[in-house]
Structure 1
Amino acid sequence: MSLFLRLAIGFVLLITLCGGVASYSAWHQTRDTVNELFDTQQMLFAKRLLSLDPTSLHAASLPKTKSILRHHRGDQDDDALAFAIFRADGQPLLNDGENGRDMQFDDKRDGFREGRLRGDDDSWRLLWLTSADKQYRVVVGQEWEYRDDMTRDLALASLMPWLYAMPFMLLMLLALVWFELRPLKRLTASLQLRAPDDATPLDEARLPIEVQPLVAALNGLFHRMAQLVQRERRFTSDAAHELRSPLAALRVQSEVIQLADDDEAMRKRALQQLDSGIQRATRLVDQLLTLSRVEADDLRSEFQPVPLAPLLQKLLIEHFPQAEAQQMDLQLHAQAEPVMNGHPLLLNLLMRNLLDNALRYAPPGSQIQFTLNARTIIIEDNGSGVSDEQLARLGERFWRPPGQTQTGSGLGISIVKNIAQLHGIRIAFSHVQPQGLRVTLSW
C-alpha cells in the first residue's frame, strides 16, 4: 500500500473520529445548557403562578391560542410549556387550556420529577411547588421530546458548517499531501534511472528537512559502494598485472623441465626455479587478498583490547632463528605496556611485515631495535637505508627500490599503511644517523 493511500485512509479515519467526538461533545453541552435554561424557566414561571391571589382563583381554563396564532400567521408548540394550579385537596383551579388540562394532581414532595399526562405516553419533566400556606400546589411541565428536538437543532446548527467544510478540508489536505510527496516521487524516478556505477551524490537542496537525512544516508551508501567497486576493480587489475610475470616464469620453467630429457642438473635447477616461482606467486596472492581485506570497513566490528608488549615479544621470538641465521641482532625496549583497541591478527600482521622487511633488506650483521612507549612504537635498523627520493615513495603499491636482489611484490608497506589507517595509527619513515631506516608508529 502506498504512503499516500495510507495517509488518505488515516486522515479519513482521524477526521471521522474527531468529528464524532466533537459532535457528541457539542450535543452533550447543548443538552446541559438547554436543560438548565428550561429548568430555570419552569422554576420562574411556577414562582410567578404562586404569587397570584389564591382567593381569586376558581376552576377555570385559559382559552386555546393555537387557532388564534394560526389565523394571524403565528405558530406555537403546545409541548413547550404547560401548567396547572390545584388546591391542596386536588381540586383544579386553573390551567393553560391546552396540555395543562391533562395534568394529574400529585401531593408528594416539591421539585422536579418525571411524569406523564392523562392519556399520553410521552415523558414530561414536571416541577411541583406548594404555596407557603400549604393551600395550593402548582405544576409546570415540559415534554422531554421538545427539549431533545431543541438540543438536536442547536447542535446541528453549530456543527453543520463543519460538516459541510470537512469534505473540502479533507480534499485540500490530500491535495497538500500529494503536492508535498512530489520530491519523493522525483527522488524515486531519479534512483530508477540511475546507473549501477553512478556515485554522483543526490541533490539535497530542494528536499524537505525530514527527507534530507535519508538522502544523506543514500549518498553515503553510494560513496561506500563506489569505493567497494573501485577496490574490486583495483584488486582485479593488480592481480592480473602482477600475476602475469610469475605465471609466465612458471610456464617457462615447465617447458624447460619438459625439454630436459636426460639433463638431470637442468631438470633439478628448473624444478627449484619452479618451486621458487610458486612460492612467490603464492605470497603475492596472499598479500593481494590481505590488502583487499584490510581495505574493507567491516573489520572495526572485530576490534578488541590488544596488549602490544606481549605481541612484540612473541613476534621477535618467532623471528629469532631467522635473525640468528642472518647474524642480525633483535632487541625490544619496552618502556611501557600500552593496550590498543584493534584487530589482533591485523596488528600482528603490521608488525610482522615491518620486521620481515628489516630482515629481508638489511645486510647481515645489522641490528634491529623495537622501542615501545605509551603512545608510540619505533622500529630502527642500521642497514644501508634508502635515499630521500625512495623514502618518499615507500608504501606505493607494487613499488620496490631499484637494485633489490630479494624477491618481493612491493605490497608489504602498502598493507602496513592500510592497517595503520584502519586503526588510526600515524606512520612516518625517516633516516637514522649515520645510516639506517626508522619507522615510527604513533596513535
Structure 2
Amino acid sequence: MSQLSLRLRLMLGFILLTLICWGVASVGSWWQTRDKINALFDTQQMLFAKRLAAMDPAQLTQQPLTLPKTKKLLRHHRGEQDDDVLAFAVFTRDGRMVINDGDNGKDFRFQPSRDGFSNGKLKGDDDLWRLLRLPTADHQFVVMVGQQWEYRDDMTRDIVQANLIPWLVALPVMLLLLLWLVMHELAPLKRITRQLRLRAPADETPLVEPRVPQEVRPLLNELNALFVRIGEMLQRERRFTSDAAHELRSPLAALKVQTEVAQLAHDDRAVRHHALKNLDAGIDRATRLVDQLLTLSRLDSDEKLQTEPINLQQLLQQAAIDHYASAQDAGVEITLDAPDSPVIRAGNPLLLALLVRNLLDNAIRYSEPGGSVQLTLSARGIKVVDNGPGVSSTALSRIGERFFRPPGQEKSGSGLGLSIVSHIARQHGMQASFGNRPEGGFAAEIGW
C-alpha cells in the first residue's frame, strides 16, 4: 500500500470509508426505525385494547360474536390496508371467547394469567405474533389484541428502504465527485513534479505554483530555500575551483622551472642544490596554499560549528610556544600579555587556534629582523601587533579579501591568511579589524 500513489490511496480510502459509513448508517437506521415502529404499534395495540375493554359487557351475547371481514363491508374504495395483521378477541375469565374480529382473532389462544405484552403463535399458524392481554375494569372479561411480527419487520424494511434508496442512488455520484475533487486538489503537486522533472541541475529559480495547498506551502518554501543554498554552494565550489586553478598555476610553474634547472645542472652540485632547495620551498608554499584553500572552502560552507568553552589564555600560550622557533629563525621576539583571571569563551578550538596561528604567521613574516610581535588578550578581544612596514592607506581597505596582497610585497604568500581570520571571526560572532599603528607596524584585532 505504501508504494501506491497518494492520489490512488486517497481515492481508495474515500471509497472504503464512504461504503463503511453508509453501511453503518444503514444498520443504525434499520435498528432505530424498528425500535420506533415497535413502540408505535405497541401503543396502537394498547389504545385499541383499552377501547375494547371499555365496551358494555351487557352488549355481549352468550354466543361468540364474529365481526364481518372488511372486504364484505366495503366492496370498493377500501384503501390500502391490511386488516388481517391486527386481530383481537374478548374472553371471559374462564376462557370462553365472546367476540373476535372475524379473521385471525378467532384463532387466539387464551392465556389465563399473563397480562401485558408477550410473544406467541395462533392456532394452526407458525407465524410469530405480538400479543397484548388486558383485563377489563370489573375483571369479568379479558381483551387480547395481536399483531404479526412479520408485518412490523416488513414495515421497518420498507421505511428504511424508502430513506436509503435515494442515498444509494446518490452514492456513485458522490464518489465520482470525491474522486474528481481529489484529482483537482492534487493537480498542483503534479505540476510541481513536472517542474522538478524538467529542471536543470544548476537552475536556482524558485518553484512557482499559485494553487499549492496551504499544507504543502511550507514544503515548497523549503524546497526553494534548498535551491538557493545549493546555488550558493555551487557558486562557492566554482569560485574555489577557479581560485585554486589560478593560484596554483604560478607555484606549479615555479616548481616545473626548478625541476628543469635541477635536471640541466648535470655535475654542477651547487646549482642542483640551489634548485632543489628552491623546489623544496616551492612545495612548502604550494602545500600551504592548498591547505589554506581547503580551509577557506570549509569555512564557506554552512556547516554548524561544534563549540565548547575555551580557555583563551591556554590557547594563546600554546600558539606562542608553537611559533617560537619560527620567530627565532626570523629574528623576531614574541611576547604574550594576558590577564590573571581566565577568559572563557565558547567556540571551536581548532578554528580559533587556526585564527591565532594565521595572525602570528602574518605578523612574524612581515616583521623586520630584530623586531617583536605582541600578542595581547583582554576580556573584550585578542590583539596581535608587529613593528613591520604596515600597508598603504589605499590597500588597507582591501585587507581581508581573499587572494589580495598589497602591492610591492616581497614576502611569499597567497593572500588567504587574513581572509581565513575574517571568516572564522564571523562564524564565532566576532569582528576582525586591521590597521596601521601610529608608531609604525601593523595591528590585527579580534573583538567581541
Question: Which of the five TM-score ranges fits, normalised by the shorter chain?
Answer: over 0.9
Which SS does the other structure have where 2:338 is aligned? strand
Of 300, 308, 312 in structure 1, the residue corresponding to residue 312 of structure 2 is: 308
1:421-432 to structure 2, matched below 5 A, reads: 421-432=426-437
CA distance in 2, matches of 1:335, 1:200: 55
* Matching residue within 420, 425, 432 for 1:415: 420
Question: Contact 2:334–2:375 at 8 Å: present in 1 too?
Answer: no
1:234-278 Cα deviation digits (max 9, x unpaired): 222222211111111111111111111121111111111111111
Relative to the length of structure 1, the TM-score reads: 0.94
- Is the contact made by 1:57 and 1:94 (CA closer than 8 Å) also made in structure 2? yes
In structure 1, the partner of 2:114 is 109
Please say which of residues 94-103 and 411-420 is displaced more in the overlay.
411-420
Per-residue deviation, residues 348-380 of structure 1 (Å, max 9, x unmatched): 111211121111112234343334344433333
Match of 1:439 among 419, 425, 444: 444
* Residue equivalent to 2:377: 372
After the TM superposition, which residues 42-441 of structure 1 pair with which residues of structure 2 at under 5 Å, given as runs?
A: 42-58=45-61, 59-66=64-71, 68-69=73-74, 71-72=76-77, 74-203=79-208, 205-300=210-305, 302-325=306-329, 326-334=331-339, 337-441=342-446
Distance 1:149 1:374 in 2: 95
Q: Which amino acid aligns with 1:175?
A: W
- Aligned in 2, Cα 1:278/1:20: closer, same or farther, shift over 3 Å? same
**One-letter amino acid of the counterpart of residue 22, structure 1:** A
Change (3 A) 1:352 1:41: same
SS in structure 2 opposite 1:196? coil
**Residues 250 and 278 in structure 1, CA contact (< 8 A), matched pair in contact too:** yes
1:53 Cα offset (Å): 1.1
Aligned residues: 442
Change (3 A) 1:370 1:327: closer
Distance 1:347 1:255 in 2: 41
Range moving further from structure 2, 388-397 or 62-71: 62-71
Are the structure 2 counterparts of residues 21 and 167 from structure 1 closer, same or farther at C-alpha, using a change threshold of 3 Å?
same
Q: Quick one: which of 13, 18, 22 aligns to 1:15?
A: 18
Give the equivalent residue in structure 2 for 1:30: 33
Per-residue CA distance 1:126-152 (angstroms, 9 max, x = gap): 111112332211111111111111112
Distance 1:237 1:74, change over 3 A: same
Q: Report how far residue 69 of structure 1 moved.
A: 5.0
Q: Larger deviation: 185-194 or 332-341?
A: 332-341
Which amino acid counterpart does residue 151 of structure 1 have in structure 2?
T
Q: Which residue type is aligned with residue 45 of structure 2?
A: Q
Q: Deviations over 1:72-131 (max 9, x none)?
A: 453332454111111111100111111111110001231111111112112111111112
The answer as to whether partners of 1:334 and 1:371 remain within 8 angstroms in 2 is: no
Deviations 1:24-53 (A, max 9, x none): 222222122111111111111111111001
One of 2, 5, 25 as aligned partner of 1:2: 5
Any idea what SS the aligned residue of 2:346 has? strand
Deviating more after overlay: 156-165 vs 54-63: 156-165
What is the CA-CA distance between 1:7 and the residue it aligns to? 1.0
User: What TM-score results when the alignment is normalised by the length of structure 2?
Assistant: 0.93
Distance 1:145 1:375 in 2: 97
Matched, 1:41 2:44: yes
Per the alignment, do residues 149 and 238 of structure 1 end up closer, same or farther by CA in structure 2, a change over 3 Å counting?
same
Point out where structure 2 has 5 or more consecutive residues left out of the alignment: none
8 Å Cα contact 2:332/2:372 also seen in 1:
no
> What is the CA deviation profile of residues 377-416 of structure 1, one whole-angstrom value per residue up to 9, with x for unaligned ones?
3333343322222111112221211222222111111222
Residues 222/88 of structure 1: CA separation in 2 closer, same or farther (3 Å cut)? same
Q: Once superposed, what is the RMSD of the aligned Cα atoms? A: 2.0
Cα separation, 1, equivalents of 2:187 and 2:275: 71
In structure 2, the CA distance between the partners of 1:268 and 1:79, relative to structure 1 (3 Å rule), is: farther
After alignment, is 277-286 or 126-135 more displaced? 126-135
4+ long deviations beyond 6 Å = none
Q: Structure 1: which amino acid aligns with 2:25?
A: A
* CA distance in 1 between partners of 2:365 and 2:282 (Å): 18
Separation of aligned partners in 2, 1:298 and 1:25? 60
Helix, strand or coil at the partner of 1:278? helix
Cα distance in 1 for partners of 2:380, 2:189 equals 49
SS of alignment partner, residue 292 of structure 1: helix
Mapped partners of 2:328, 2:192: distance in 1: 66
Identity %: 58
**Which stretch of structure 1 is more off in the superposition, 380-389 or 247-256?**
380-389
Q: Which runs of 5+ in 1 are unaligned?
A: none
Counterpart Cα distance in 2 of 1:194 and 1:295: 26
Contact 2:395 2:406 in 1 (8 A): yes
Give 1:21 shift: 2.1
